[in-house]
Structure 1
Amino acid sequence: MNVSRSFVSHGKGWLAGALLVSIMTTSAKAEDVRITAVFKPDSAYPHLNKFKNTTPPSGYCGSWPEQCELHNFFSLKVPIQFNSRLPIPANHPSVRQGAMLKAPAQWRELTVYHETTREPEKVRVRIAGIGSQVATDDVMTLVGGAADYRIAHNLLWGLSWVNAPSPCVYSGVGWYTSTTYDFFWQTPTEGVCSKQAKFNVPWLRFNHLDFAYELETPNPLGMSSGQYTGSLTYSIGPTGDFDFGDVLIPTDSVLTLNFNLDVQHTLKVDIPPGGEQVQLVPAGGWQSWLQAGRKPVRLFHDQSFNISASSRFKMYMECEFIGVSYDCLLDDRVSRRQVELQVFVTLPGGLTDLSGQPVRHMRLRAGAANALYFQPGFYVDRAPGVLHFEVPQRQVEFMLSPGAGPFYRGKVTVIWDSEI
């Protein structure tokens, strides 16, 4: 028999005296970012069946990774600027006339498709935080003087940029210069988060778009090995998904998130040395037959194996000699008699059939068309299973009848196949 094994500081800021110039643009462009995640089973954490986000962090999470780990989100910084098309008047009556932000904080769903089979899977994403670097003239000049630049920033906007206006939430981080203030706010719910200028602001610019996202990925154990890709597009601008009011106009009107999920499954079967040679014997051996003439009830052999599996797979046989019921046959090359060999499989806990039932002594048949399909509930790592080989009683009687030869042989190939 052959077996195939196949992270705010309200402390000191730093000062900079560079002249910042507001730049207006009318071009409508698109910004694309790539988000990657991988699933690869880990024997140290077999029950951790989740994708790992492998997207290199930038922006907020790149600077303060412990903050993002605490809140379980990731961030990306994209070179989209928001430039004021008009001055911002002091105490403007509408939030849309000043510095405002609204992020698409609700969950959105997209479909990713397998690169080869086009199998679809659902991914969900939400924007969990938003930030930038706000830039304008020297804030000490705009407010007519203050004890220090931190106080000047607070006087200009009524409150520090670290302190997020509702419904946005404080993130713990902020840093400033004489003309800029970097901030980041969490967005647990969708809504307008705005700052009202308390003094006239001749121009304003957000130097980039920094956003955090949460990701919900499919169960990788139900997915095929390979790459899954898909995209989600957000509009940017007044009344868009990312809305910064009527004064701040973006340099790009579209942001597309391109997703790539990489599934790297494990399916490995280890047969102990010598396990490829199977000898079928009666219970207790042949002594009862040889010494007392008691015919054996059956001939059998249980062959153990160890299996590691993180994906769905199928099992079937290939036979040197095949019978009408898709069982393999053993052949006596002297008498040319053939007898039926039945093969069964028992799989370890964590592996079930597609209905979720345990696999106990389940019969295998020859041919891929007769394959049995199995699935893991978690990553099974080197767990023991058994192949049961048996010649049933009626066939044993036939083998022992007069004229039968002494040896029955046959080749059986048992196949574990993850390509389903």
Structure 2
Amino acid sequence: MPSEWRNVTVTNEQGDSAQLDVRISGIGGRADHGGDVQVITGGGGYNELWNTGRWHNAPTPCIPTGGLNGTSYYVVWFWLVPENAGACATQAQFDLPELHFRYLSFGYELRPPNPLSTPAGIYRGSQTYTIGPGLDFDFGDRVLPVGNTVTLNFVLDVDHILKVEVPPGGNRVQLEPQGGWQGWLQNGRKPTRLFRDQTVNLWASSQFKMTLECGAPMGNTCSVRNAAGHQVPLDVAVTLPPGLSDAGGRLVNRLPLRLDGSGTELFQPSRYIDRKPSTLHFEVQADSVAQMLEQPGSTYNGDVTVVWDSAI
């Protein structure tokens, strides 16, 4: 039996390809010998026709499953086949007037492609085995098949998820100094920066990128402005949960999001991310805060859109 691993290329309609491995891991069926073994052997049953116990125990290197059924005319069996087993052979102790396999069955083992690195789609591929003396399935030089090939057709459906869950109220982000505004209101201590960390929950099973869109762009980032039109930059960064890395394989910690998308073109999972917390960091730097404090009584607003995009 072809118990060694063989590579099968599977391809989807978009032309993406992946590789799975397959091997034959079991063999069985019904063998008919066409005569009464009790007459041939003097009354020992079907197993007597072969080296003692070979159908029940399986010839090495095959492994028995513990089951055997049949009569003095036929036997139904199934053996397990280890990797790279080669031949599993048992020798008849008498000449047989006839031997044929009424039917055959086999088991196979698969090593599918890693779905985390496989684009979504329906993948198809096939593996063909030959049957006959000296071929993939070889049942002896005098056992000839009705058909000399068997083809396994594989269909793999890869369906990815990319989902972001923003908690209630999480779309309204209020920037504050460290410890709140009490230091400014009670002691006149000027804040050095304004920030807010917003947690969102993330599901991801494949690659994605992140982009930034702004209501009022300023340079390569967003901004907030007051009613008088005074505008300061608003920095946005992201921290992703363990199991996600950037294109260089690094963990993602406070990675800046920019309008041109640089640095966030590719994030890839090493495992399935199932509702893990991710953090968006919003911050106005110290020099900009100093400018804002020169506009007393002002309220600064801005719109920021963060996009998680599975189209790489």
Could you tell me which residue of structure 1 aligns to residue 89 of structure 2?
A: 194
**3-state DSSP of counterpart to 2:68:** strand
2:75 aligned to which of 177, 181, 188: 181
Contact 1:139 1:156 in 2 (8 A): no
Instruction: Find the aligned partners of 2:180 and 2:64 in 1 and give their Cα distance.
Output: 76
- Assess, with a 3 A threshold, how the Cα gap between structure 1 residues 285 and 142 changes in structure 2: closer, same or farther: same
Give the CA deviation at 1:388: 0.8
Matched, 1:209 2:104: yes
Instruction: Find the aligned partners of 1:416 and 1:400 in 2 and give their Cα distance.
Output: 34
Structure 2 letter corresponding to 1:111 = T
Could you tell me which residue of structure 2 aligns to residue 163 of structure 1?
A: 57
- Assess, with a 3 A threshold, how the Cα gap between structure 1 residues 170 and 292 changes in structure 2: closer, same or farther: closer
Could you tell me which residue of structure 2 aligns to residue 109 of structure 1?
A: 7
**3-state DSSP of counterpart to 1:162:** helix
Instruction: Find the aligned partners of 1:386 and 1:199 in 2 and give their Cα distance.
Output: 76
Instruction: Find the aligned partners of 1:194 and 1:299 in 2 and give their Cα distance.
Output: 78
Could you tell me which residue of structure 2 aligns to residue 361 of structure 1?
A: 254
1:368-403 deviations in Å (ceiling 9; x for gaps): 57634323333333222221101112222333446x
Could you tell me which residue of structure 2 aligns to residue 269 of structure 1?
A: 164
- Assess, with a 3 A threshold, how the Cα gap between structure 1 residues 371 and 144 changes in structure 2: closer, same or farther: closer
Could you tell me which residue of structure 1 aligns to residue 238 of structure 2?
A: 345
Which of 298-307 and 287-296 deviates more?
Answer: 287-296
Q: Which runs of 5+ in 1 are unaligned?
A: 1-102
Give the CA deviation at 1:307: 2.0
Find runs of 4+ consecutive structure 1 residues off by over 6 angstroms. Answer: none
Give the CA deviation at 1:289: 4.3
2:225 aligned to which of 313, 324, 331: 331
- What's the TM-score, normalizing by structure 1? 0.67
Could you tell me which residue of structure 1 aligns to residue 124 of structure 2?
A: 229
Matched, 1:394 2:291: no
- What's the TM-score, normalizing by structure 2? 0.88
Give the CA deviation at 1:343: 0.5
Give the CA deviation at 1:298: 1.6
1:371 aligned to which of 258, 264, 270: 264
Contact 2:46 2:71 in 1 (8 A): no
Could you tell me which residue of structure 2 aligns to residue 244 of structure 1?
A: 139
Contact 1:142 1:199 in 2 (8 A): no
Contact 1:142 1:201 in 2 (8 A): no
Instruction: Find the aligned partners of 2:231 and 2:39 in 1 and give their Cα distance.
Output: 99
- Assess, with a 3 A threshold, how the Cα gap between structure 1 residues 197 and 328 changes in structure 2: closer, same or farther: same
Instruction: Find the aligned partners of 1:320 and 1:134 in 2 and give their Cα distance.
Output: 77
Could you tell me which residue of structure 2 aligns to residue 123 of structure 1?
A: 20
Instruction: Find the aligned partners of 1:238 and 1:175 in 2 and give their Cα distance.
Output: 27
Instruction: Find the aligned partners of 1:384 and 1:225 in 2 and give their Cα distance.
Output: 24
Matched, 1:321 2:219: no
Contact 2:35 2:97 in 1 (8 A): no
Return the structure number with greater relative CO, CA threshold 8 A, min gap 6. Answer: 1
Could you tell me which residue of structure 1 aligns to residue 195 of structure 2?
A: 300
Could you tell me which residue of structure 2 aligns to residue 47 of structure 1?
A: none
1:337-386 deviations in Å (ceiling 9; x for gaps): 33211101122233332333222111112255763432333333322222
Give the CA deviation at 1:142: 5.1
Instruction: Find the aligned partners of 2:30 and 2:96 in 1 and give their Cα distance.
Output: 16
Give the CA deviation at 1:152: 2.7
Q: Which runs of 5+ in 2 are unaligned?
A: none
Could you tell me which residue of structure 2 aligns to residue 76 of structure 1?
A: none
Give the CA deviation at 1:137: 1.8
- Assess, with a 3 A threshold, how the Cα gap between structure 1 residues 157 and 131 changes in structure 2: closer, same or farther: same
Structure 2 letter corresponding to 1:222 = S
1:143 aligned to which of 40, 44, 56: 40
Contact 1:142 1:156 in 2 (8 A): no
Q: Summarize the alignment of residues 72-87 of structure 1 with structure 2, pairs less than 5 Å apart.
A: none
Instruction: Find the aligned partners of 1:158 and 1:281 in 2 and give their Cα distance.
Output: 85
Structure 1 letter corresponding to 2:285 = P
**3-state DSSP of counterpart to 1:252:** coil
Instruction: Find the aligned partners of 1:220 and 1:192 in 2 and give their Cα distance.
Output: 34
Contact 1:142 1:200 in 2 (8 A): no
* Identity value in percent: 47
Instruction: Find the aligned partners of 1:367 and 1:139 in 2 and give their Cα distance.
Output: 83
Contact 2:10 2:18 in 1 (8 A): yes
Give the CA deviation at 1:141: 5.9
